[in-house]
Structure 1
Amino acid sequence: MPFTLPAGGRFAALAFTLAVAFSAAGLGGSPAAAADPAAQFGPQPPQNPATAASGAATMHGDSASSGTTPYQGPGTAPVNYSRTALASACPTVVVGSDGYVISLCTTIFGQTPTVHLLDPATGADLASLALPKGSLFGGVYAYLDNDNRLVAVDGNNNLLRIGHLRTANGWALRVEQSTPLGSAVPAGDNIVGLTPDWDGRVWFATSGGVIGTVDTSTGTVHGISTGEGVQNSISTVPGHTAVATDHALYLLSAAPDGTPTITWRAPYDRGPARKPGQLSWGTGTTPSFFGPGNGTEYVTIVDNADPHGNLLVYRADGGPDPICRIPVLTQNTRSGTEDAVIASGRSVFVTNTYGYPYPALPEGAPASRPSSADFDGGLTRIDVNAQGTGCAVVWNSPVKSAGLPRLSLADGKIYTVSVTGPTGSAGLNTFAQYHHTVIDPATGAQLGSAYLGIGLVYNPLQMRGTTAPDGTLYQGTETGVVRISKR
């Protein structure tokens, strides 16, 4: 299905949300673009030796959760797209060094986490493997290791490494390693975040606030309890692990035996209640590391203050006092975000999800205040100053992003899925129109868009697309994966 992506045009009108019920149905002042727009941003965070190549190894690209990719996207040229129907919401799409695409999805019926191996040439489903069912968030965060194996946790709290291989009967997925996390995860608790560190340990965080490490070569597990809930993924760079609970941002390291050690704890404004368009009461963001030197100097989240969330930026090697606390998305009456930010160089990009109607919420999620709101969208860029002592808004955009955007450091463009038409709960699943959209990160201007489709089969549920090394973009949706490439 070819569609042309025209330059210019108007603005339309970003983890993770996972299992769904099938029945739930001004620009501000900005600097001029540089001659090489991609050169304004970066560097990428260091390559984690325990993951596949940065950019396509995790939902957020890398273990730092930068939201960037080193690969060019489809650009503003005409595009082709195709859809792989999996009857599942597919928040995690990763690509290995062999080019094969692996997606961790949650089935619509039964909410069963299922791994799919997709053909990079066509997007066809080559093999699938259902995992024991756990919580709603059990089928979300995973990563691809340096042997192209998907690392995930099943509903029995076993840490799995899942490989793919060709057999006499075609492709197959199989569990190559299983490590029980045992008593480190209390009964009734479940793993939410998962990421490896530079010493080979796998860090995890549970919804009940346990932060731990596991050495899969020995089976040794160590954990500590914060007593605070965790509903987002976690991030690692050399020497640091960042975890955001529903009360505070934690920066941690590991003791020689692997026990997590708190370097500092920074409480934030969690607001008076859960906001509509967010899945929990507290920050909706995974911590992201970034910086202009080596890509790890700063770590950032967005709080849940009312009426507007604040971007909080900390020095990773500093302490719990932020270098800046600045309201974001103030072009809207109210704002909040359930999306991890894009963070690269000195720039942070924040997406407004306030009012976005999710078809399902995590078990035990408190009522939002107000109970519902219009989804107005919006995207903003904030830069840390050259001295590292403060932040300022560079531009605000009215883009109505239904997906979680990603920045290409190769072509200097932001890619997302925008939405037009009715965006209430029924509208997003029935009448809303979805578009592959390209944005200029220097100015916030929309460079073009291509119509994808209408209704729930194209609804990206604020999930992040992943670009393969060949420039093909894979976008998880409420019912499968959409493959977008240059025509």
Structure 2
Amino acid sequence: MLPVVAVALVAGVGPSAATPTWGPLAPANPHLGPIGTSTMHGDAGSSDATPLAGPGSGPVTVQALPLGAACPTILQGSDSLVVALCTSIVGQIPTVYLIDPRGPIPLAQIALPKGSLLGGVYAYLDNDDRLVVVDGERRLVRVAHHATTDGGRQLSIDEATDLTGAIPNGDNVTGLAPDWRGNVWFATGGGIVGVVDAAGVARTLALPAGEQVSNSISTSPTGTAVATTAALYELVADDSGRPQVRWRAAYDRGVGRKPGQLGWGTGSTPTYFGPQTGSEYVTIVDNAADTVELLVFRSGTGEPVCAVPVLARGGPGSENSPVGVGGSVFVAGTYGYPYPTVPEGAGLAVPSSAPFPGGMTRVDVSAAGQCSVVWDNRIRSAAVPHLSIADGLLYTVVRGSLPGAGDVTTPLDGFAFAVLDPNSGAVLAMQELPGTLAGDTLQMSALISAAGDYLQGTVTGLVAVRPG
């Protein structure tokens, strides 16, 4: 066992007295694993909300789990084992790890063919606890784990579907998700959207020339949402199984890629949410030059619902998927975040660099379809926030700063696990995490596990925050 350091959270004020009931979540996709733990953003609609309780705002223990790899995708199946898709520091090789979240790690690992920076980052667990991903050889693979005769575990590719006829040479899948019929939808960096049916047949649609996809995609009972560097789309499959555009909504993409973002355009994976069905709305954040806006549309029709400026106290940009649940959306700012590298073809940042002020905004959508800002804060979130509807808390990791440095980032900045009150935006508790540069959470998404652990990817592995 790796050493565990016992620590206590620094307590703040308690949750607001008038705590709302958060939800509803969208109906579970029957072709995914457990809701809350089977996709990077929790569910098919990328809500970043979970029905599972996190560590809470009391004492915790913290454990570093070094893997020698950056781990943006951390998932958990119905057997409680964790499947992490990471990229090794040496060679930048995508590697799948099977982890007992409270035991020695890893139980098993398997390397996949290398693709682009964002290729092979997004994956999900299907309803058989298999990791579904498109590898660097343009194969749709399902990676399963099995017990071995000596009592150990092994990872193996159970299924592989050749997509070289559907994806051009040099292009890579940046996002994929199943629809409610079991088809696997994918989008490539070059702007191709595809559907793979149960027989392994892929049918594709090329989006307008010049539009790229640098984030994942989301599905709901009404369709599949894809955000390009110019517009938000909702697509469905026609009678032949080919993807077709149901609606398209252009947005303000600004004058160029901003520092702290990985592409020129929205940094959002589209988020489905809503107070009635859990998916009647879909939202992204635009990339307007001076002040970014949260844009909300009605799923199924594309009707604009409302738009409102966000991150007024932070920087004007977000590379994170918004958290969306019920009638509330939470947006975390990433403007100026020091990514060590960006995808090929992302273009120069305008300006080339900037401080990282952070910032987070809560927006509520009223029954009349009006957007209103509930609160704005200056928290420097360094990870994708997650809201637990079980305990009513918002979880993230924050980036510290050296004395006198203000918003300027340095390799010596520390990181801390943070618990926020989603009603007010106040920080309820915070606990320092081990490491500085090696502990950079790089705006990656965490997993709140079935046991209430908070597992966060870093540039060198995982860190586990457990109720203590």
TM-score bin, normalised by smaller chain: over 0.9
Contact 1:429 1:459 in 2 (8 A): no
Q: Which whole-Å CA distance do the structure 1 matches of 2:235 and 2:162 have between them?
A: 23
Aligned to 1:33: 16
The one-character-per-residue Cα deviations of 1:288-344 (angstroms, maximum 9, x if unpaired) are 00000010110000010011211000011333x421121111123x41000001001
Aligned to 2:375: 395
Q: Which 5+ residue runs of structure 1 have no aligned equivalent? A: 10-31
The CA deviation at 1:92 is 0.3
The CA deviation at 1:439 is 0.2
Q: Which whole-Å CA distance do the structure 1 matches of 2:155 and 2:402 have between them?
A: 40
Aligned to 1:70: 51
Among residues 211, 215, 229, which one is paired with 2:212 in the alignment?
229
Q: Percent identity?
A: 50
2:267 aligned counterpart, secondary structure: coil
Q: Which whole-Å CA distance do the structure 2 matches of 1:298 and 1:281 have between them?
A: 24
The residue type paired with residue 177 of structure 2 is: T
The residue type paired with residue 311 of structure 1 is: L
Contact 1:83 1:123 in 2 (8 A): no
The CA deviation at 1:430 is 3.3
Contact 2:333 2:360 in 1 (8 A): yes
Q: Which whole-Å CA distance do the structure 2 matches of 1:123 and 1:195 have between them?
A: 31
Q: Which whole-Å CA distance do the structure 1 matches of 2:184 and 2:343 have between them?
A: 24
343-352 vs 168-177, which moves further? 168-177
Q: Which whole-Å CA distance do the structure 2 matches of 1:124 and 1:437 have between them?
A: 25
Q: Does 1:462 align with 2:443?
A: yes
Q: Does 1:328 align with 2:332?
A: no
Among residues 390, 393, 400, which one is paired with 1:410 in the alignment?
390
The CA deviation at 1:106 is 0.6
Q: Which whole-Å CA distance do the structure 2 matches of 1:469 and 1:431 have between them?
A: 33
Aligned to 2:337: 356
Q: Which whole-Å CA distance do the structure 2 matches of 1:34 and 1:249 have between them?
A: 38
Aligned to 1:176: 158
Contact 2:246 2:301 in 1 (8 A): no
Aligned to 2:351: 370
Among residues 233, 238, 248, which one is paired with 2:231 in the alignment?
248
Aligned to 2:284: 301
The CA deviation at 1:468 is 0.9
Contact 1:106 1:139 in 2 (8 A): no
Task: With the length of structure 2 as denominator, give the TM-score of the two structures.
Answer: 0.95
The residue type paired with residue 173 of structure 1 is: L
| Equivalences for residues 308-319 of structure 1 within 5 A | 308-319=291-302
2:194 aligned counterpart, secondary structure: strand
The CA deviation at 1:470 is 1.1
Task: With the length of structure 1 as denominator, give the TM-score of the two structures.
Answer: 0.92
Report how many residues are paired.
Answer: 459
Q: Which whole-Å CA distance do the structure 2 matches of 1:200 and 1:464 have between them?
A: 25
Aligned to 1:5: 9
Structural RMSD (CA) = 1.8
The CA deviation at 1:361 is 0.8
Contact 1:114 1:139 in 2 (8 A): no
Q: Which 5+ residue runs of structure 2 have no aligned equivalent? A: none
Contact 2:147 2:154 in 1 (8 A): yes
The CA deviation at 1:187 is 1.4
**Greater relative CO, 1 or 2 (CA 8 Å, sep 6+):** 1
| Equivalences for residues 14-53 of structure 1 within 5 A | 33=16, 35=18, 37=19, 39-53=20-34
The CA deviation at 1:123 is 5.8
The CA deviation at 1:428 is 5.7
The residue type paired with residue 303 of structure 1 is: D
| Equivalences for residues 156-171 of structure 1 within 5 A | 156-169=137-150, 170-171=152-153
Aligned to 1:258: 241
The CA deviation at 1:34 is 5.1
The one-character-per-residue Cα deviations of 1:263-299 (angstroms, maximum 9, x if unpaired) are 1000000000111100100000000000000101100
Contact 1:84 1:125 in 2 (8 A): no
Contact 2:291 2:310 in 1 (8 A): yes
Q: Which whole-Å CA distance do the structure 2 matches of 1:459 and 1:256 have between them?
A: 46
